[in-house]
Structure 1
Amino acid sequence: MNYLLIALQVIVALSILNVWLVQNKKPTQWRGGNATTIIEEFKVYGLPVWMCFVVGTLKILFAIGLLAAIWYPSFREPSALGLAALLLGSIAMHLKIKDPIKKSLPAFIFLTMCLYIAFPIL
């Protein structure tokens, strides 16, 4: 059993669930532009509100998939790669609106963790 992999899965999953289910209406230093909620953030990016619900649903499902992958390993790679793709989109949106690089840092760190989860090298 690879405990590093399990730890990363739990960290990524719980962090994503926290952002989308607990902190979604709270301002953070990582939100795009001057947005104070996730919906405002999507508007700052020039995206329709419905896209927020699609992305949020996918991120929650992939996060749950990472947790389920602890017991059902076949979920690990698709869940990690799904989140990686969405996190890459997050980074692209920050770049699109010319946010400081600092605002992309959490997405970059979680992208890196997701890629390791999908393709563990240790």
Structure 2
Amino acid sequence: MEYVSIALQLIVGLSILNVWLIQYNKNTQWRGGSATTIKEEFAVYGLPQWSLYVIGFLKVTLAILLICGIWFPELINPAALGLAFLLAGSVFMHVKIKDPVKKSFPAFLFLVLCLILVFIL
């Protein structure tokens, strides 16, 4: 089970870092509405610009902590719960603007993986 936990930590952590650090200004099929960047996506959701930086900081920090949980297991639950909360917000935003289900799939998947880390593994 330890290897499954490590795999999930890496999958979630590296995926979140990829979105917020590498794909930040790139158009992807998962962006909300017709947005082509994260900044545009937050505008589509009707969120203030400052929330982009707060949520980005939290997601990047929690993703790093989740990966650090490989060596410091006491970090896994708080990091996974924090990410689960933020990912639930992501799913809600997609629903709010009536995006196709496909667009919220990655956020929902990572939300489920975080909950598995907390409650099953």
Q: Give the shorter-chain TM-score range.
A: over 0.9
Task: State TM-score, norm by structure 2.
Answer: 0.98
Contact 1:32 1:99 in 2 (8 A): yes
Equivalent residue for 1:120? 120
Q: What is the RMSD of the two structures over their aligned residues, measured on CA atoms?
A: 0.9
Matched residue, 2:22: 22
Q: How many pairs align?
A: 121
Deviation at 1:119, TM superposition (A): 1.6
Q: Displacement of 1:120 after TM fit?
A: 2.2
Letter in 1 for 2:20: W
1:11, 1:97 → 2: CA distance? 27
Structure 1 contact 33–44 (Cα < 8 Å) conserved: yes
Could you tell me how far 1:118 is from its partner in structure 2? 1.2
1:90 aligns with 90
Alignment of 1:1-122 (within 5 A): 2-121=2-121
Whole-angstrom distance in 2 between the partners of 1:19 and 1:120:
26
CA distance in 2, matches of 1:10, 1:119: 17
The Cα of 1:49 is off from its aligned counterpart by 0.9
Cα distance in structure 2, aligned partners of 1:113 and 1:65: 15
Q: Distance in 2 between matches of 1:45 and 1:5?
A: 33
Q: Which runs of 4+ in 1 moved over 2 A?
A: none
Give 1:115's aligned amino acid: L
Unaligned residue ranges in structure 1 (runs of 5+): none
Residue identity (%): 62
Letter in 2 for 1:111: L
CA distance in 2 between partners of 1:109 and 1:97 (Å): 19
